[in-house]
């Protein structure tokens, strides 16, 4: 069937817009990421003199970088509506965030919807697949102190040891508050079949919209970061805990991401913006960490229950277009998440001004030396 003139114009406009957005993203990365690295290098004397102030500044720069990523989707019309508990109430406390994983756009969605949650973004730590270490954002995550985990049975035990060591060394020394992980261990489309086969074999619930989570990283985080008085379990990194006077991990935030019609957004779409404007829905449930069992078998059951609930939440969402009300509520309440365009423009402008400043500095020293 031949394409009409109107359809051709629409396709041409979409391609042109995607090309311009891609060019802007490349330019954005070329100035913002090197600028972040150079600021961190220049501030190393401050790190030796006043580590707390250094990591505060680094956290602000980190938040701005994540806001730039959020802006790519925001300006393409990819917005977020939030449901369930209001996580702003615990934004200053330590929390572990458990998220279902459907596509690369899940990370971008979190970068967007956590921007207005106080100090969360600048004080958070991410657990992500080791492949992200080799992306353009890898150097930023390495400096910030995120943990890259290698998947697969051959690496699992060693990776959990490394995670424990990483948390003890960096989590509280850099004043981290929230830690984000995807317990399913991979994208839904890649793990669903294996997860369903495991469920059949072990007489577990058959899940379509999520997969059965893995226990390892969750258990290590709880054992390492929860203060002993919370659940009676010795916490790793106890010396650091006392020195920082931290209350330890206080909350588990069960986060469920839902896309209309179950069609997730990937990073390519987020960057190029060729998909029509869409609303991603994010549901939160907050659990006190004292209510989370410490024993492996009980913790496994508790974690499975969270993902069974996610399955029910997503089933309800795909059938009705909304999440069900919380217990005790008669009607589900949603909150539209907003970002200030003026603030985003200001951050983008600062990034390009920083890039220009560093370029001028290098030019000056180059001419002085040669």
Over residues 292-322, the pLDDT tens digits come to: 998 999 999 999 999 999 999 999 999 999 9
Report the domain count for the chain: 1
Q: For 282-293, what is the mean pLDDT?
A: 96
Does the pLDDT of residue 244 top 50, yes or no? Answer: no
pTM over 0.75: yes
Lowest model confidence (mean pLDDT) among 37-51, 92-106, 243-257: 243-257
Distance CA 234, CA 219 (A): 13
Helix (H) / strand (E) containing 282: strand 278-288
Burial of 296 (0-12, 13-18, 19+ CB in 10 A): exposed
Residue 314, domain member (yes or no): yes
pLDDT digits (tens, 9 = 90+) for 32-89: 999 999 999 999 999 999 999 999 999 999 999 999 999 999 999 999 999 999 999 9
Query: Is the per-residue pLDDT at 360 higher than 90?
Result: yes
3-class DSSP string for 37-67 = HHHHHHCHHHHHHCHHHHHHHHHHHHHHHHH
Alpha-carbon distance 48 to 173, whole Å? 13
User: What residues form DSSP beta bridges with 280?
Assistant: 80
What is the pLDDT confidence band of residue 237, given thresholds at 50, 70 and 90? very low
Residue 8 lies in a domain: no
Return the pLDDT at 234. 42
Dist. CA 309–CA 207, nearest whole Å: 10
Residue 251, strand partner residues: 95, 288
Question: Burial letters for 129-158: b for 16+ Cβ neighbours within 10 Å, e otherwise?
Answer: eeebeeeebbbbbeebbbbbbeeeeeeeee
- Is 210 within a domain? yes
- Predicted pLDDT of residue 245: 56
Strand partners, 255: 99, 284
Q: How many CB atoms lie within 10 A of CB 207?
A: 21
Q: Quick check: 174 and 55 in contact, CB under 8 A?
A: yes
Q: Is residue 253 part of a domain?
A: yes
* pLDDT, position 2: 63
Query: Has residue 281 got a pLDDT over 50?
Result: yes
By DSSP bridging, strand 334-337 and strand 78-84 are antiparallel
Tokens encoding 369: 């030396």
Q: Determine the angle formed by the axes of helices 216-225 and 296-320, rounding to 10 degrees.
A: 120
179-196: pLDDT as tens digits: 999 999 889 999 999 999
Under the phi-then-psi rule, with left for phi > 0, alpha for psi from -120 to 50, and beta for the rest, what region is 248?
Answer: left
% residues pLDDT > 70 (the chain): 94
Query: Is residue 4 domain-resident?
Result: no
% of the chain surpassing 90 pLDDT: 78
Whether 96 shows a pLDDT value over 70: the answer reads yes
> 274 in helix, strand or coil?
coil
Q: Give the pLDDT confidence score for residue 200 in this predicted structure.
A: 92
Q: Which domain holds residue 145?
A: 79-227+247-324+331-337
Is there a domain that residue 317 lies in? Answer: yes
What CATH number does residue 126 fall under? 3.40.1130
Give the model's pLDDT for residue 327: 81
Does some domain include residue 73? Answer: no
DSSP H helices, the chain, are: 5-42, 44-49, 51-74, 105-113, 138-144, 153-166, 188-201, 216-225, 228-231, 238-244, 267-272, 296-320, 341-369
Residue 229 has pLDDT above 90, yes or no: no
- The predicted model gives 278-305 an average pLDDT of 95
Give CA–CA dist 357/21, Å, rounded: 24
How much is the pLDDT for 304? 96
Using alpha carbons, select from 352, 360, 345 the residue that is nearest to residue 35.
352
Instruction: Classify residue 35: in a domain, yes or no.
Output: no
């Amino acid at each position: 069937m031949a394409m009409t003139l109107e359809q051709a114009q629409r396709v041409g406009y979409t391609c042109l817009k995607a090309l311009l957005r891609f060019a802007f993203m490349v330019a954005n990365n070329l100035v913002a990421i090197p600028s972040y690295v150079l600021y961190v290098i220049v501030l190393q004397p401050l790190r030796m003199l006043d580590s707390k102030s250094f990591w505060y500044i680094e956290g602000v720069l980190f938040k701005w970088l994540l806001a730039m990523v959020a802006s790519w989707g925001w300006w393409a019309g990819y917005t977020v509506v939030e449901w369930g508990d209001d996580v702003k109430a615990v934004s200053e406390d330590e929390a572990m965030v458990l998220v279902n994983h459907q596509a690369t756009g899940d990370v971008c969605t979190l970068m967007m919807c956590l921007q207005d949650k106080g100090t969360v973004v600048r004080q958070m730590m991410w657990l992500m697949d080791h492949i992200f270490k080799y992306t353009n954002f890898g150097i930023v995550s390495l400096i910030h102190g995120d943990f890259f985990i290698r998947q697969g049975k051959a690496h699992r035990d060693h990776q959990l040891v490394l995670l424990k060591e990483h948390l003890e060394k960096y989590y509280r020394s850099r004043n981290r508050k929230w830690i984000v992980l995807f317990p399913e261990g991979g994208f839904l489309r890649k793990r669903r079949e294996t997860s369903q086969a495991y469920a059949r074999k072990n007489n577990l619930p058959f899940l379509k919209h999520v997969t059965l989570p893995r226990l390892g990283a969750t258990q290590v985080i709880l054992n390492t970061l929860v203060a002993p008085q919370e659940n009676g379990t010795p916490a790793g990194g106890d010396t650091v805990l006392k020195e920082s006077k931290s209350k330890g991990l206080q909350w588990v935030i069960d986060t469920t991401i839902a896309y209309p019609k179950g069609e997730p957004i990937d990073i390519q779409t987020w960057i190029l913006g060729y998909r029509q404007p869409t609303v991603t829905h994010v549901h939160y449930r907050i659990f006190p960490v004292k209510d989370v069992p410490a024993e492996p078998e009980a913790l496994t059951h508790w974690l499975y229950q969270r993902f069974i609930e996610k399955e029910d939440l997503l089933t309800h969402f795909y059938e009705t277009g909304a999440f069900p009300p919380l217990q005790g509520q008669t009607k589900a309440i949603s909150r539209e998440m907003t970002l200030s365009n003026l603030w985003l423009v200001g951050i983008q402008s600062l990034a390009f001004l920083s890039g220009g400043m560093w370029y001028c500095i290098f030019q000056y020293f180059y001419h002085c030396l040669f």
